[in-house]
Each structure stands twice: as C-alpha cells, then as structure tokens.
Amino acid sequence: MQRGRDRREGAAPVQRHGRRDHAPSGHRTPRAHHPRRSPRGSRPHAHGGQGHRTGERQHVGGPAEDRRDARSRTRPAGERTAEPPHRPGIPSRDDPARAGEPRDRVHATHQGDRLVSVEARVLLVADRNRSGIPAVLSIIEPAIERNASEVVRIGPEDPLPETRFDVAVVLGGDGTILGQARRLATRGTPIAGVNVGRLGFLAEFDADAFADATELVLGDAPPIVERMTLEVRVESPDADLDDDEGWTLALNDCVVTAGAPFRMIELGIDFNGHGGPHLSGDGLIVSTPTGSTAYNVSAGGPIVHPTCDALVVTPLAVHSLAFRPVVAGAGETIAVTAVRVNEGTTLVIDGQLTRHLRVGERVRIRRGRPRVRLIHDPRAEFWSTVVQKMRWATGPTYRDR
C-alpha cells in the first residue's frame, strides 16, 4: 500500500486525498554569508565564503594563532603536526559511534580558542499559494537563511529531493505535518512544524516563536521528541504476503468507518492472533498516543501522553453498553476483519489515505518501525496545550449572585 514501494498481488493500494501544490519544486537558495556570533559571544566569524567549504576550518586571528604560526615556520618541511589529544566525552572521527555521519555535517569545530557551530541544510516545505503562508514566510525565511548553509524549497506534494537534510521546516496545519511525517520518517529527518492552521498540536511553533528559536532549531542539539507510528496493511483472504510487504505508515490513526448506505457494520477484532470481540456499530479507531487527541478523543477514547508507546482501540457508535475503549501494548498486533460491511465501508489512514474494504478482507495494524522525529518548542508543554487548545476539563460559566 505504501507509495514508492513495490506491491505484490493481495496488498491493495491506498489512495491519497489532498490538494496539489503548485509551488516551484526543488528551488534552492544559495547560502547567505552573514556574520554570526560564536557561542561564547565574541567576535563574529565568516561562514564559508569564497574558497571555503561549509565546516572547513578558517583563520581566526589572535595571540594563540600567532604562536601557532611561529611554530609552523620553524617546523621542518614535510613534518606532520601531531594529532591533538582526545578529549573525554567528545567522539573522535574514528569513533564507531560516528560511523555513517556525513563528513560535511560536523556538529562543532574549534577555531582558535572558540567553539564554532556549523550551519544546517534545511528543507523548507510550504504551499506558497495557501492563505497566511506568505506572511509567515516573510518572518521565518530571513532567520532560516542566516543560520542555514543551504535551503531547498518544495511544496507539500512535490517529490522529496534525494539530498540528506538536517532539518525539515514544515509550514501548515496538523494535516500538513501528518503528510510530511509519513514521507520523512524513514529518513529520520527532524521536523519543525510552524502552525498556519487552526489548531496546531503537531505544529508547535508559531512564526514569531520559530524566528526566536531558529538558532536552537537549526543548531547542534535541537530539542527532538520521537513519536510512535503505526504500520497498516489490507490482506485479502487469498493474499500471500511477506512480512515486510504492503505496509503503509500512519502517525495518528487508522479508522474503519461504515460508509454509505450507513447501516451498522460488523467487524471481528483479534489481538496477536487470539480471538477477540465482534463489534456491531459504525466502525473502529486504532490510534497512536499522538493520535489520541484527534478522532479518538472525539469518539470518547482516552488521551495518552504522546511520549508513551501504546495502541489505543476505540469503537465508533458501538451497539453495546459493554464495549469500552482499551489501551493495548505497543508490541501487540491487531487484526480487524470485515465480517459484514457496506458498499462505502472504508479504511482511512491519518484522515488522508483511503481504501474501500470488502467482506473477508483483514486490516492488520502493528507498531511502526520508523519513528517520527519532531522538534519541540521548549516553551510548549503537552498538558497545558490540551487545556488551552482543547479546553480540557473546562467547566460551565457561572453567574455571580
């Protein structure tokens, strides 16, 4: 079902619903050569410049540099300078822990006596034709360009460049973040969401907050939180699929919904291959903790802190007083079998990908292998956000007597 992967017979595709973005694809902005303060707040230094690569050591004047120049003039020709001693806590270039780290993405380097940060490569995802986004871009783009060695601009529907990026800055609402999270999860690219939507649970930054935090977000140690995902696939009764075949990634949830003509449907549910309950009603939601504040909470399911790993199972308008939402372990595999369905019964993933279900087909759900990496706004706190944006536990308004 997943776009970009080969599918064998028996794994049905999931359709994508959403707008086409007409922003220019793959537009690159050359690096801006602005002075930048060093972490110690001393003299500004040049980043790159003619004849220098990003991350390359450049001359920084001062007494220490003069002493080194004097030593280099007295060193015999051809003699190599000894490697500096290893500092505890700082991995050397030969450390196995750094295997696979790109050489042109050095997190910090010493220039003279000062620690100088190296700038990031940024993927900027925005629908420039969407209302409100040009105004937000006018605030955050200058800050990004001052702190990035490269900025590549694409629209939400444009193909991802093959280049590896250090940060993806995504403008939009939570729906835009969901779509890009599914695309970027397997790359491990951290996502900084800038809210231009109505709610902004996943897009934690507003324009001003992002502009203020740009150096932190694009710096060496941005505050990253990892979110659990789901892998979902549809199995036909005669399907013969490999274990790694046909899965689609979800960050929020997957939903089986009755659809037209809106009669009750019957679903069989089992956990880890063991027989479970049958549901008669309008459908079923299986969500991640991240998705627990979305459709799940509207259907009466529990709110689960997004740093937890769990599967939240919530029925939709079930015709029973005994079927309650449950929280299952993240390591369990849930199978939902279509026993009796309508013509319009549909599997919906993250509210964006859909696939009609037929009698006998099974939806299998398990914890996803890739995790979505989100850059957290240090000023935001989950429970405060639930109170402020969802009005959690807000009581009635009383009149003074």
Hey, which residues are catalytic here? 174
How many Cβ atoms sit within 10 Å of the Cβ of residue 199? 15
Residues ≥6 apart with Cβ < 8 Å to 54: 31, 47, 48, 104, 118, 119, 149
Distances (CA, A) of 211 to 147, 208, 216, 224: 11, 5, 10, 17
Amino acid at 10: G
Q: Is 245 exposed, middle or buried (0-12, 13-18, 19+ CB in 10 A)?
A: middle
For the chain, the 3-state helix, strand and coil shares in percent, each to the nearest 5, are 20, 30, 55
Q: What Rg do the C-alpha atoms of the chain give, in angstroms?
A: 26
* Closest C-alpha among 326, 312, 187, 177 to residue 253: 312
E-strand ranges in 236-368 read 248-250, 253-257, 265-271, 274-281, 283-287, 310-316, 326-329, 334-340, 346-349, 353-356, 362-367
State CA 154 to chain mean position distance. 16
Pairing mode of beta strands 167-172, 120-125 = parallel
Strands (E), 176-217: 191-195
CA distance 256 to 276: 17
